[in-house]
Structure 1
Amino acid sequence: MNRALKIAIQGGPASFHETAAKQLFPASSVSTLSCASFTELCQTLASGLADFAVMAVQNSLAGPLLPNYRLMDQFNFSITAECWLLLDQTLMALPGQKLEDIKEVWSHPIALLQCCDYLEGMAGVSTKETSDTADTARLLKEDHITGVAAIASQKAAELYGLEVLHHNVANDVENYTRFVVLTRETQPKAATKATLLLPYPVVQFSLESILEKLEPCALDVTMLQLLPSPNPGQPEEWVLELESDQAACITQALAALQTVAPTHTILGVYPKAEAPLPQDRMAGCLSDILKAQPELA
């Protein structure tokens, strides 16, 4: 009998990462290893305790989680798959609590950002950042915390016996997060999506040349984001993501990039998942970047 795959995730039972892991490994027996942070997730995979890791990298409302791209590079991981997950951000509290009883709302900082419009409408209510959505729901239940609501999934409310105060509190009910599968092994292959890091000076001075090189390749540039340096004095980089309906076009694009940015780093070449929303509805899309950086246009 084959053993269960060990998948490192950020968060615990009923977290969105757990749901994504089961979606990404539907035909496998999966055992998730809960990690309190994305750094711990990477350390768990690097140590060999996990076979794979599942990590959030982009949200349709909050944009890309850029520090996670830096972690992939630091740990020399490779992306092998991706999926989009619809998030049902739900406001919940102990049974018997009402909206007027709530003085604080706790959740992961990205979840709070996704729900900022709703939270701004809660007069006199403050927010507190926590390490995980579902684990916040567990904490409220186990410590019997009153006057506080959590934002987490409907599944977390059911698991921990909390009362739903309001469904779908995100700024947009079409609130999607993209998750990727990470592995320690780099396995070059032909596929329909590529994630790369480009040296900042190359992008700064020759973006037009890069886009011209990519134009004949029949693909979409779905992300171009500045990745700040973790340490002063170190060069910055840009995250570049390319998609195509044909793997040959990605191979062609990577060859073309070699001539204008030979020092680029490939974080993964893998099958693309169809985006649930048009690119112009994604926070941090290429058009937004070009508008904010007119010198690059």
Structure 2
Amino acid sequence: MNRALKIAIQGGPASFHETAAKELFPSATISTLPCASFIELCQTLESGLADSAVMAVQNSLAGPLLPNYRLMDQFGFSITAERWLLLDQTLMALPGQKLEDIKQVWSHPIALLQCCDYLDGLTSVTTKETSDTADTARLIKAEQIEGVAAIASRKAAELYGLEVLHQNVANDVENYTRFVVLSREVPAKKANKATLLLPYPVVKFSLDTLLEKLDDCALDLTMLQPLPSPNPGQPEEWVLELEGEQAACITRALAALETVAPTHTILGLYPKAEAPLPQDRLAGCLSSILTAQSELA
């Protein structure tokens, strides 16, 4: 009998990361290893306790989770797969609680950001950031906390016996997050999507040349974002994501990059997942590509 794959995730049972892990490994028996933070997730994978990790990197409303790209680079991990997951952000509280009883809403900061329009409409209700959506639901039930609601998945409400006060409280019901599989192994040689880090001087002085070369490779440039430096005073790097119909497109692009950015870092070569929304509806991606040229000119 094959042993279960151990997959590190941020959060615990009924978290969106757990759902994503199950969808990313549909034919495997997996055992998820809950982690309280993305740093802990990376440490768990680095230690060898996990075979792989599943990490959120982008939300259609909140944009890219840029610190996670930095973590990939720091730990030397590679992206091997990706998947978009529709999030059903749900407001829940102890059974018997009504919306008018709620004085505070707790959830992960990214979830709160995704639901900010709804939260702004709640009178005299404050928010509190927590480490995980589903675990917040568990805590409210375990400690019988009244006057507090959680934002988490409907699965979390069912698992922990909480009452749904309002469904689909995100700013847009089409609220998707992109999750990736991280590995300690070197990325594959051939794939139709690439995630790269570019040194600042390349983007500052050679962006037009870079984009021209990429245009010749029949590729879609889906992300170009500045990644703040971990050390004050050092130049930032930029995250670049490319997609092509064929693996040969990525191969040509990487060869072209060698002439412009020989010191680029490959964070992953992997099969692209079909985006659930047009690129102009994915927050923080194309807008940064369009403004980068004018800002860096």
Structure 1 residues not aligned, in runs of 5+: none
Aligned to 2:110: 110
For the 8 Å contact 1:57–1:180, the answer to whether it is kept is yes
SS of equivalent to 1:217: coil
Which aligned pairs between 1:134-145 and structure 2 lie closer than 5 A?
A: 134-145=134-145
For the 8 Å contact 2:86–2:175, the answer to whether it is kept is yes
Aligned to 1:241: 241
SS of equivalent to 1:83: strand
For residue 118 of structure 1, report the CA deviation from its aligned partner.
0.2
Aligned to 1:256: 256
Match for 1:62: what amino acid? A
Runs of 4+ displaced beyond 4 Å: none
Aligned to 1:42: 42
Aligned to 1:267: 267
For the 8 Å contact 2:39–2:71, the answer to whether it is kept is yes
For the 8 Å contact 1:106–1:130, the answer to whether it is kept is yes
Distance 1:289 1:229 in 2: 19
Match for 2:51: what amino acid? D
Superposed CA deviations along residues 56-105 of structure 1, whole A, max 9, x for unmatched, are: 00000000000000000000000000000000000000000000000000
SS of equivalent to 2:256: helix
For residue 123 of structure 1, report the CA deviation from its aligned partner.
1.0
Aligned to 1:217: 217
Which aligned pairs between 1:59-74 and structure 2 lie closer than 5 A?
A: 59-74=59-74
For the 8 Å contact 1:290–1:296, the answer to whether it is kept is no
For residue 206 of structure 1, report the CA deviation from its aligned partner.
1.2
For the 8 Å contact 2:223–2:289, the answer to whether it is kept is no
Match for 1:68: what amino acid? N
Distance 1:11 1:242 in 2: 29
Identity of counterpart residues, as a percentage?
84
Match for 2:231: what amino acid? N
For residue 286 of structure 1, report the CA deviation from its aligned partner.
2.1
For residue 294 of structure 1, report the CA deviation from its aligned partner.
1.9
Superposed CA deviations along residues 270-295 of structure 1, whole A, max 9, x for unmatched, are: 00000000000000122344237623
State yes or no: 1:54 paired with 2:69: no
Distance 1:167 1:292 in 2: 38
Distance 1:197 1:159 in 2: 40
Superposed CA deviations along residues 18-77 of structure 1, whole A, max 9, x for unmatched, are: 000000000000000000000000000000000000000000000000000000000000
SS of equivalent to 2:3: coil
Aligned to 2:27: 27
For the 8 Å contact 1:134–1:156, the answer to whether it is kept is yes
For residue 231 of structure 1, report the CA deviation from its aligned partner.
1.4
> How has the CA–CA distance of structure 1 residues 36 and 114 changed in structure 2, closer, same or farther, with 3 Å as cutoff?
same
RMSD: 1.0
Distance 1:103 1:46 in 2: 41
Which aligned pairs between 1:169-180 and structure 2 lie closer than 5 A?
A: 169-180=169-180
The alignment of Structure 1 onto Structure 2 pairs a total of residues equal to 297
Distance 1:94 1:294 in 2: 51
State yes or no: 1:184 paired with 2:177: no
For the 8 Å contact 1:219–1:249, the answer to whether it is kept is yes
Distance 2:105 2:254 in 1: 45
Distance 2:118 2:296 in 1: 35
TM-score, structure 2 as length reference: 0.98
Distance 2:124 2:66 in 1: 32
> How has the CA–CA distance of structure 1 residues 291 and 187 changed in structure 2, closer, same or farther, with 3 Å as cutoff?
closer
Match for 2:69: what amino acid? Y
State yes or no: 1:164 paired with 2:167: no
For residue 156 of structure 1, report the CA deviation from its aligned partner.
0.2
For residue 201 of structure 1, report the CA deviation from its aligned partner.
1.5
Distance 1:200 1:236 in 2: 6
Distance 2:288 2:29 in 1: 41
Distance 1:147 1:7 in 2: 35
Distance 1:30 1:281 in 2: 33
Structure 2 residues not aligned, in runs of 5+: none
Aligned to 1:129: 129
Superposed CA deviations along residues 99-124 of structure 1, whole A, max 9, x for unmatched, are: 00000000000000000000000011
